[in-house]
Structure 1
Amino acid sequence: MNDLKLKRKYGDRADWLRVVQREFIQDFFDEEGFKGYVTLLMVIKITEPLYVLYRDKRVCIVDEGYTWLQHFPEGARHSVTTMFNSKGEVVQWYIDICLQNGIDNGRPWMDDLFLDIIILPTGEVFNKDTEELELALSSGIIAEEQFNIAISEADTIKKQIEANEFDLLHLTKIHKERLELQMSSRQF
């Protein structure tokens, strides 16, 4: 836990060494239900697949042919990454609770506030890194205000998920198809 700090994470994941060949595109969407940047990372070649464990479920989240779609909603305190397998099926939705989203030299980013919510296609919901958030507060890495922002945002999103009102889950396939179309048209 020595590397516990607020981290700025970029949508292009340029520092991700596991992915050795990729295609990437991003765009700004301003439409009903969503306003912000959306990035699409197509994984072509990797050093090794990446698996995560949720209770008794082992889930592959990165392999060759996988696609990661990330939403950076303007003015929101969360970012949503949707992982698709090589067949185009959703593997998981990964919701990062963040202090803010922004853009720097054309690169969308989010300042991660430790808490995460994972949703599997089965409807199962997992909360992650609550202990990291508490440790960040007790260590002085974040202030009580940031702690409260993270808890409040996570609670709001969980309620929206339970009520089937977290709209980004319904927009992921549409936005993925739109960016894939843009990507294919720029290659010719």
Structure 2
Amino acid sequence: MKKKRLIYDEWTGITSKRYTQLNIDNEVFKGIAAMLYIDKVSKPYIWNFNGKEIIACDSGMKWLQMLPDDGTYVITAMINMKNEIELWYIDMIASHGVDEDNIVYFYDLYLDLIVYPNGTIKVDDMDELVDAFEQNIITKELYELALKTSDRLQNGILKDMCQLEKLSLNCINELEKNMKDIIFSEKLPSAKDYNKL
């Protein structure tokens, strides 16, 4: 399994970024919310959906990340320069924790869900999950955990886009309201530094 951090070190195309992180405990969300401010990229990262180009990563965008205390997933809302959510990207995860520099990390379970604003859901990287199980990289329990988490999301919060939007807006508001109390770093570890962790 790959260890990933909420500052997304593996996205080497992001050449300048800032990051905020906060524990939230309210009636809408209990867990960790973070915002990655993408100040500069070497080139935009564009996905194609039904013939339409969707920009997932570009200079001036923000990524809101939500990791619930009781969940085995991370939701990332990719927000464009007009403060509109382009899409939600959901990673199924095995576990999560906090590194020595206080940045949250998680162990990726390969399977992902891509959710578009019109409610369309795309299951992504199922082949990687199957391969990891067949090659004994992950256990049967972790394989089933990824599938169950995906099913629970698709039959739960993802059935109601208003609920997903409300969750995202709540976390954005909490991050902005508590800006003075949270981590804020202009100089983040590079991908090279990340490989040493």
The verdict on a shared fold, with TM-score over 0.5 as the criterion, is yes
Structure 1 unmatched ranges of 5 or more:
1-5
Q: Which residue of 2 aligns with 1:118?
A: 114
Shift of 1:163: 3.5
Q: Which residue of 2 aligns with 1:129?
A: 125
Q: Which residue of 2 aligns with 1:74?
A: 69
Q: 1:37-83 deviations in whole A, cap 9, x for unaligned?
A: 11101111111100123353321111111000111111311010000
Does residue 163 (structure 1) correspond to residue 182 (structure 2)? The answer is no
Between 1:47-56 and 1:68-77, the stretch displaced more is 47-56
Q: CA RMSD in A?
A: 2.3
Q: Which residue of 1 aligns with 2:143?
A: 147
Q: Secondary structure at the match of 2:39?
A: strand
After TM superposition, the score normalised by the length of structure 1 is: 0.87
Q: 1:103-148 deviations in whole A, cap 9, x for unaligned?
A: 2221111111011111111111111011111111111111111111
Does residue 31 (structure 1) correspond to residue 26 (structure 2)? The answer is yes
Contact 1:79–1:101 (Cα < 8 Å) also in 2: no
Does residue 179 (structure 1) correspond to residue 186 (structure 2)? The answer is no
Shift of 1:179: 2.0
Structure 2 unmatched ranges of 5 or more:
185-197
Q: Secondary structure at the match of 1:88?
A: coil
Shift of 1:162: 5.2
Task: Return closer, same or farther for 1:136/1:15 CA change in 2, 3 Å cut-off.
Answer: closer
Letter of the 2:150 partner, please give it: A
After TM superposition, the score normalised by the length of structure 2 is: 0.83
Choose the corresponding residue for 2:43, options 38, 48, 53: 48
Structure of greater relative contact order (alpha carbons < 8 Å, 6+ residues apart): 2
Task: Return closer, same or farther for 1:103/1:167 CA change in 2, 3 Å cut-off.
Answer: farther
Q: Secondary structure at the match of 1:80?
A: strand
Shift of 1:23: 1.9
The count of residues paired between Structure 1 and Structure 2 equals 182
Q: Which residue of 2 aligns with 1:3?
A: none
Counting aligned pairs with the same residue, the percent is: 29
Shift of 1:33: 2.9
